[in-house]
Amino acid sequence: MNAQPVTIPSPKDIASAAERIRAVVRRTPVIGVAAGELDVPVPVALKLEFLQHTGSFKVRGAFNALAHLRAAESGAPAAGVCCASGGNHGAAVAWAAREAGLPATVFVPDFSPKTKTGIIESLGARLRRVDGFYADARAASQDHARHEGAFHIDAFDAPETVAGQGTLGLELAEQIPEGQPVLVGCGGGGLYAGVALALAGRNHVIAAEPSSAPSLTAALEAGKPVDVEVGGIALDSLGARRAGRIATAVGLSLGMKTLTVADEVVAAARALLWQRLRIVAEPGGATALAALLAHPEHFPDGATVVVSGANTAPGAHLDG
């Protein structure tokens, strides 16, 4: 049986998402950091997406997907919405559902940290822990959707989710110079795909992955999504065992090469963000900066780094 074709959001889809979410999602700032301040010899622009609702970019895709689904279905089911998440997407879906006045059920792997599951529950969602990894939680969420009639909001591999994440790229187009490379952390690849599509032809977007969870790297090498072993410091946010079909298709079409970084470099990036700028970032939120630290030769004139993911216990990373 042939695989279903991949639906890639168009520029119009991303522009429509921006209009759809404009009134509820924050426009996050970009700040400039002088050469040397973050231990790289070039200036760095930081997109402070950790200031977004629930601490990450995920609300962009979650709210757009929910609004799009409600419009397509002319309403919403009594069962509300459901999703699978390591934590950040679940918090975003819980927030979007609360804004829409809908119930939400969030399935998480059993290793998801209390810092994140506590946010999900505080936003009124029902939390369900699942043995295994993200893929197991996703299967449980899809099963719940089939049996209960809820909307399943995919974390990274649905066109509506990717289009919502692309709104971050539209903001960057108004905030940074044309031609400046952009680094984003990557798990399943929804943020990479959305931002790369939004900035296509203007800025080159590079996906940064922990070497302990190289799902998009493996997909691009294989020419299709493949399963990889995942673990390491950013497992709860960048631990998708298989990259999304949309991200893989976008990466292949653009000839994108990922940058992978060791866990100790991610830890060093977190420490630098705190020590030099007093920015609290979880490992996934610091992975893009870690790629700049590990591979400065690719960015001789500097780069924009997206910092997204602040859902970590205060003080947990102060020593690196």
Residue 97's domain spans which residues?
Answer: 58-152
pLDDT tens digits, residue range 190-218?
999 999 999 999 999 999 999 999 999 99
pLDDT tens digits, residue range 95-104?
999 998 999 9
Domain boundary (136, 152, 168) is at 152
93 and 179 share one domain: no
Considering the domain boundaries, does residue 312 fall inside one?
no
Q: Model confidence at 184, in pLDDT bands (50, 70, 90)? A: very high
User: Is pLDDT of 183 > 60?
Assistant: yes
> CATH no. for residue 69?
3.40.50.1100
282 and 139 share one domain: no
Report the alpha-carbon distance of residue 174 to residue 48 in Å, rounded.
Answer: 15
Domain count, the chain: 2
Domain boundary (97, 117, 152) is at 152
139 and 204 share one domain: no
251 and 278 share one domain: yes
Instruction: Write the DSSP symbol of residue 232.
Output: S
pLDDT tens digits, residue range 124-175?
999 999 998 888 999 999 999 999 999 999 999 999 999 999 999 999 999 9
215 and 288 share one domain: yes
98 and 220 share one domain: no
Considering the domain boundaries, does residue 284 fall inside one?
yes
Q: What is the mean pLDDT of the chain?
A: 92
pLDDT of residue 160: 96
295 and 239 share one domain: yes
pLDDT of residue 239: 82
Considering the domain boundaries, does residue 3 fall inside one?
no
User: Is pLDDT of 49 > 50?
Assistant: yes
203 and 297 share one domain: yes
52 and 63 share one domain: no
178 and 230 share one domain: yes
Domain boundary (152, 171, 196) is at 152
Q: Which of 36, 32, 49 is nearest to 195 (CA)?
A: 49
Instruction: Write the DSSP symbol of residue 198.
Output: H
Considering the domain boundaries, does residue 317 fall inside one?
no
Single-letter residue type at 297: E
pLDDT tens digits, residue range 69-91?
877 765 667 789 999 998 899 99
Considering the domain boundaries, does residue 314 fall inside one?
no
Report the alpha-carbon distance of residue 296 to residue 173 in Å, rounded.
Answer: 23
Report the alpha-carbon distance of residue 13 to residue 162 in Å, rounded.
Answer: 10
Which pTM was predicted? Answer: 0.94
52 and 82 share one domain: no
109 and 238 share one domain: no
Considering the domain boundaries, does residue 6 fall inside one?
no
pLDDT of residue 3: 65
Q: Mean of the pLDDT values across residues 245-272?
A: 96
C-alpha 250 chain-centroid distance: 15
Considering the domain boundaries, does residue 1 fall inside one?
no
Q: Mean of the pLDDT values across residues 25-37?
A: 97
pLDDT of residue 5: 86
